[in-house]
Amino acid sequence: MPHDHGRKLAKFYYASEKTIQKAIQASADAQRRWDKTPLEERIRIWQNAADLMAGAHRQRLNAATMLGQSKSVVQAEIDSAAELIDFFRFNVFFLKENAKYQPISENLSVTRNSLRFRGLDGFVAAISPFNFTAIGGNLAYTPALMGNGVLWKPSDTALLSNWRIFNIMREAGLPPGIVNFVPADGPTFGKTITASSRLAGINFTGSVPTFNWLWNEVGKNLNKYQNYPRLIGECGGKNYHFIHPSADIQSVVTGTIRSAFEYCGQKCSACSRMYVPRSLSEPIKQGLLEERSKLKIGDPTDFKIFTGAVIDDKAFARITGYIKNAKNNPKNKILGGGEFDGSKGYFVQPTIIETVDPFDKLMTEEIFGPVLTMYVYEDRDLDQALGLVGSSTKFALTGAVFATDQKFLESAFEELKMTAGNFYLNDKSTGSVVGQQPFGGGRMSGTNDKAGGPNYVMRWTTPQSIKETFVPLKDIDYPYMRD
């Protein structure tokens, strides 16, 4: 448990290269059988699973997420219950809606045109992160819904909750071999799947370096594959809150505290940089520090806590490294927090830093922890500050603008168009809801395939167009040739 790392919750084994190859064979073979299963039957299984997740297994999912991933009770409920269930129900809904389309048939007595969905020929590798139990379920089971065989490599630090999902799907009626649960060493798994001629797709959420490595390996092996593999990736962000002088201070403070520090800032969408005008800087600082001081950090089984521990020793070392560097950098000033203790659990206090350098690594690199950095700009330099948002980092996942000036909101809406796949006006940069704000970003934040939206399921099918002709073709020539 991250908040009590002396206590073990589960034991698992890494699959060897040989075992991974065996799982590839099982998935690819199962895909051909599974692809013949009618959509109606697949939909029935997914709806059954959603009902199990919403009922009998709801608190087992929440408990595993709270203990294994150190989520507060509300963050677990939002994730491992609500969002996971929504992914299953909405993906079924979107599949049924998409299946309603059929091509035009001008005269059904002569010809009928139709379209059917097929799975990808081979196997799909799903590589899921620790921070959202729901993402694990979505990455592995949405391709399966569309007729694919899947190898699921869960995160080492989300094994228990992900194993719960796997067994719920078994109970719901998913046949064996369609999704294979394969914990493995990352490089071993990556090398084995990309070397297989049967690789049909990679569904990934994680770091930019890992996704880049996978993409490069696929490129090197392109001549081996029987398909062009589909590469779908969500790689995090350096998400921003941009504050205009007309902004409502209370909304800024409340939204930023929640966005930056809920689940220890370990959300892909968490606010980690903010741009504040000089005219509002003091009341915003005061508000942030006042609210920060109220946050209780501790064991998630205590329902009074705001957040728990960061996920593991590697995350603890990375995050605290940024804090230590900030303490030694004269350009940066720690306004609040900056303390950490890894003796019992990997606890990092929510930390607010002010920098005078908008290109400092605190403002440009993804930290993935409870560290918020503020840059104060002069009101007269508003346009210049706005330009920093998109020019200072390679990410473009989420962002928010706070203002009551409608003209500014309209101009910022266009100016910041390419800086975020999920863009918020007077709201925090976190909290996308399945079916309401389909999620994903561009640039180095990923391929922006919008999980939680109608197009996501279509990324995992290879449609087939069919034309049936009912009237024999008797002539080779055309009528005009006879005139």
The H-assigned helical ranges of 129-241 are 133-145, 159-172, 186-194, 208-220
**CA geometry: angle 408, 409, 410, nearest 5 deg:** 90
- Residues 77, 83, 264, 268: which is the catalytic one? 268
* Catalytic site includes residue 268: yes
- Residues 77, 83, 234, 354: which is the catalytic one? 234
Contacts of 422 (CB under 8 A, 6+ apart): 269, 397, 398, 399, 429, 432, 437, 439, 440, 441
For domain 239-425, the CATH class is alpha beta
DSSP code string of 279-302: HHHHHHHHHHHHHHTT--BS-TTS
Task: State whether the Cα torsion 110-115-116-121 is positive or negative.
Answer: positive
d(CA 19, CA 257): 45
d(CA 175, CA 172): 9
Neighbouring C-beta atoms of residue 161, cutoff 10 Å = 32
Neighbouring C-beta atoms of residue 374, cutoff 10 Å = 23
Name the DSSP class of 460.
Answer: G
The confidence score (pLDDT) of residue 191 equals 98
The confidence score (pLDDT) of residue 24 equals 97
The confidence score (pLDDT) of residue 183 equals 98
Instruction: Classify residue 183 as exposed, middle or buried by CB count within 10 Å of its CB (0-12, 13-18, 19+).
Output: middle
The residue among 381, 399, 380 whose CA lies nearest residue 389 is 399
DSSP code string of 370-384: SEEEEEEE-GGGHHH
CATH topology of domain 17-235+446-468: Aldehyde Dehydrogenase; Chain A, domain 1 (3.40.605)
The residue among 117, 166, 121, 119 whose CA lies nearest residue 28 is 121
d(CA 405, CA 35): 53
Residues of the chain with pLDDT under 70: none
User: What is residue 177's three-state secondary structure?
Assistant: coil
User: What is residue 231's three-state secondary structure?
Assistant: strand
User: How many helices (H) and strands (E) would you count in the chain?
Assistant: 15, 18
Name the DSSP class of 180.
Answer: E
Tens digit of each residue's pLDDT (9 = 90 or more) over 245-274: 999 999 999 999 999 999 999 999 999 999
Structure tokens at 216: 């490069």
Residue ranges per structural domain of the chain: 17-235+446-468, 239-425
The confidence score (pLDDT) of residue 145 equals 98
| Alpha carbon 403 to chain centroid, angstroms | 28
| Alpha carbon 384 to chain centroid, angstroms | 31
The residue among 156, 198, 173 whose CA lies nearest residue 23 is 198
The confidence score (pLDDT) of residue 483 equals 78
* Catalytic site includes residue 235: no
At 183, the amino acid letter reads P
The confidence score (pLDDT) of residue 40 equals 96
